[in-house]
A and B are shown apart, each in its own frame.
Chain A
Amino acid sequence: MKCAGDIDVRDVEEAYINIDPIQAGGRLTPGAMKALIAYCDGYSVCDNCRKPNRLDYIQKPPIDRFHRELAEFVGMDAARVVPGARRGFQAVADTYVEKGDPVLITALSHYTEVLAIEARGGVPREIPRSPGNIITPDAAADKIEAVVRETGKTPPLLFLDHVDYSYGNLHPAREIARVAHQYDIPVLLNGAYTVGVMPVDGKDLGVDFVVGSGHKSMAAPAPSGVLAARSERASEVFRTTTTRTDVTSRTFGIKEVEMMGCTLMGVTLVAMMASFPAVKERVGTWDAELGNTGLVVDALRRISGTVIVSQYPRQHTLTRVDTTQSFDRVAAAHRKKGFFFTSALKSRGIAGIIPGATRVWKFNCYGITRAQAEYVAESFLAIARENGIPVS
């Protein structure tokens, strides 16, 4: 079925249990789907935009209140919605990074942090990961010392992924922020995988900025996200325009330079707002989500030769698995090669694993029901048994 022209209807969420590693937390709530229908037009949230003509001042729909609640939700003083977490990284990098500055990231940082630094002419310097794929405070301290020694400059910023995209590991943000602050380095917490699915309190963690992703973890359409800051940093990153043009002497009110005026307009924002009550509530059930993930992870561990590469027990639902010694051995002799595995999953109504992957792959069970988690766990075991892999 087509929904328009040659665009197929997307029914993966209705026809399958979708365990795609990056899609799980971005599935819309029913409220968001309804808001999306009602506010489908371009400038739909701007019907009641009045002076001072800025997105975060609009009262109907209650965008102003949403901004305040968003800041409170992540334990910070001010928040703005942005078109994706990456635009949050960019706004902060634009504010603090000068050409040639060394900027701290980690060996598990998302590539968009690197691009944000590169766009400013900064030089990314990686804090190495431990053998268990964790970023430690000691490694952060060592790297800061090395960079200062080598360049004679204190890095103007440290990007830290709260939970990384690669292993889904939870890193000790509070301790790393403490180390960075000893050198007066502001810390940006990349909460793309945490804000909206698990409790995140920026002040409690001691960070200067919290960035979240709407489409990754806040049940919102893409591109959407949040950039939140402490008050002392908010005046810097959310600074307003001071320009007066030369010919027409125009000024531009209280538009914020890094936000390029207004940010999310229409469906992205209103759907993010519509999901927000459910998002606030669901972070309180994080333990149940970990329980569902644990169920699936424990099933995978029973399959001989399968290794959970992410930290164990799991502290996040995004999980990396190595099946080189289990499903990949089957693939070597199977007529479908590596596709046998995802094909077997698909025939059971499970989608989201990269087609053909049988070596190292990731999944995310966030947001599925207990019954669905049990079904996924049983399906992995059944596929192993059917293909002669011992199951304990």
Chain B
Amino acid sequence: MFLLTDIRAILRKTAPHHRLGPGERKEVEILLSNLEKQVDLLKRELLA
């Protein structure tokens, strides 16, 4: 949820068109990658 909050903050900063600069793009890539890892972890721990 915290990672999603960070993504939400970027959406706010770049409204209304959400055209990401190079720095923001990199930031979102890292956030999404971490989010995927967290989702995988949840799957393993809750559904195993």
Interface residue ranges, A against B (CB under 8 Å): 13-17, 27, 30, 33-34, 37, 348-350, 369, 372
Contact = CB atoms under 8 A, between A and B. Distances in A.
Nearest to A29: B9
Interface of B: 1-2, 5-6, 8-9, 11-13, 15-17
B15 A17 contact: yes
A372 B14 CA distance: 8
A132 to B, nearest CB: 35
Nearest to B6: A30
B15 A15 contact: yes
A16 B9 CA distance: 13
Main secondary structure of the interface of B (DSSP, over half): helix
B5 A13 contact: no
A15 B9 contact: no
Q: Which 3 A-B pairs have the closest CB atoms?
A: A349-B16, A14-B11, A30-B9
Contact of A34 (B5, B11, B13): B5
Nearest to B13: A369
Contact of B1 (A37, A349, A372): A37
A335 B6 CA distance: 42
A27 B11 CA distance: 13
A382 to B, nearest CB: 14
Nearest to B8: A14
Nearest to A346: B16
B18 to A, nearest CB: 9
Contacts of A350: 16
Contacts of A372: 15
B15 A16 contact: yes
Contact of A33 (B8, B11, B17): B8
A350 B16 CA distance: 7
B20 to A, nearest CB: 12
A18 B16 CA distance: 10
B14 to A, nearest CB: 8
Given A15-B15, A372-B15, A34 B2 contact: yes
A348 B6 contact: no
Contacts of B9: 30, 33
A15 B12 CA distance: 7
A164 to B, nearest CB: 28
Contact of B12 (A13, A34, A37, A348): A13
Contacts of B6: 30
A351 to B, nearest CB: 9
Looking at B1, B6, B13, B15, the one whose CB has the most chain A CB atoms below 10 A away is B15
A168 B16 CA distance: 26
A182 to B, nearest CB: 47
Contacts of B8: 14, 30, 33
B4 to A, nearest CB: 10
22 contacts: A13-B12, A14-B8, A14-B11, A14-B15, A15-B15, A16-B15, A16-B16, A17-B15, A27-B12, A30-B5, A30-B6, A30-B8, A30-B9, A33-B5, A33-B8, A33-B9, A34-B5, A37-B2, A348-B16, A349-B16, A349-B17, A369-B13
B30 to A, nearest CB: 15
B47 to A, nearest CB: 23
A33 B2 CA distance: 8
Contacts of A37: 1-2, 5
A14 B16 CA distance: 7
Nearest to A14: B11
A14 B6 CA distance: 12
A14 B12 contact: yes
B48 to A, nearest CB: 25
B29 to A, nearest CB: 18
B24 to A, nearest CB: 11
B2 A349 contact: no
Contacts of B5: 30, 33-34, 37
B15 A13 contact: yes
Contacts of A369: 13
B40 to A, nearest CB: 21
A348 B16 CA distance: 8
